[in-house]
Structure 1
Amino acid sequence: MSHDPKNGMINGSNGAGSYDAHDEAEAEAEAEERAPAPLPAPPERVAELCAACMRFVASKYKVSLDGTPDTLSLLDQYVREAREAARERPESVELVAPAVGAYLGEVMRQEFGGEWWAEGDHDAWRLYFTNVYLAFNPIGMAREAITMTEEPGWHAHMALDPGERDEIEARLAAMPEVDEEEYYLPTTRLDVVTAVVETLRARAEAAGIGDVTFSKEDYE
């Protein structure tokens, strides 16, 4: 008598192919335990600036940012036009940069995990990463994206553990070169941060400390 292997899989007559709801429930529970906990909402001041950035972009292009890296190219275009506006009205940087920086920082926080410090003047703000030792001010990054110059006192550059700096510098030096216009754009900044986070995570995993996390207090 011929045997149709599909019968055992569909009807459950073959123990190896049988369906067990209990096993599936256990697998789902284990997956939920491994999944990272949802991040808390950003501070109110950050959320307000993110909303402003989304309004600015939607008003100009009739397309909405979605809070993910997928639409950062739209923010790039907004920054390019903000550069032109800043040449005519330098004061516009004070309005646009906080909104762009808060939005970019929140995209990064959602992507990699982190904690905002958003009190006082904007130059004091920081994004502290949770799973690697890394911090910077995204609003400083946004100012540099618009002015295309370094902004002293705005802490746009990454704060790293001194013992990890050489490896990070080597990793960044190996990245493809880009021109100045592209160098400061949000998508390029995200690419750089992604490379840094991946390098630091690989280093931590290799050292057996991949489960170590950081809070704001660790950066003080």
Structure 2
Amino acid sequence: MCLADDHSLMRDGLKEVLRAVPEFAVVGEASTGTEAVMLAARLRPDVLLLDIGMPGPRASETIRQITRVAPETHVLVLTMNDEPEMVHDLLEAGATGYLLKSILREELIAVIRSVTSRPPNTVVLIVSRQTAARLKSRPTHPVEPLLTEREAVLLGLVAEAMSNAQIASRLFITEATVKRHLTNIYAKLNAVSRVDALRKARAVGLLDAGRNGGRPQRYPSLPVADAAVVRPGR
């Protein structure tokens, strides 16, 4: 797993806790959001413990970038911030868990052990009772897809090695329109070529959705209503 916190003392304390567990291994550390993303991309850890008050991008954007470059990594937010809006935003961004830093050592270990074995459509919360109650009563909103339906379908045809002319013929559009769609896709995926776009789309689960004609989700994320509250914090 990896640790991301701008306080070295906090990282040292977490390492001491985690070293006591034989199956845990801390393989990397970061002190900014940007470093956390780079670390996740390079090491692809099973779990990344993330503080949300670090220098760099907003926490939600940091989590989105991590889920894009390392979709198999479980991001556990570890913070003192207990605001329902923050909890909701970071879960929607793709966090697997949201834990207060007042968590007990045994609880942290139990959460880390559980996240890799839980179904992918659940998250873990350890927050105050008041925050848990407000989250349960909050309405959820659908997540906007990263690609439009037409872009997703077009990318699926690119994956079938079709040329621009073949795609235009299949979709009854002009080649100029195909090129415009590809330009938009490259921009949204931060890609520089067809191969790069396909690689990045597969990494975040967009390609299968496009080939099946569905509307892919923007990021691997969860509505708060699906959250599993382990134990409200004190």
For the criterion TM > 0.5, the same-fold answer is no
Larger helix proportion of the pair: 1
Scaled by the length of structure 2, the TM-score of the pair is: 0.28
Larger strand proportion of the pair: 2
Scaled by the length of structure 1, the TM-score of the pair is: 0.29
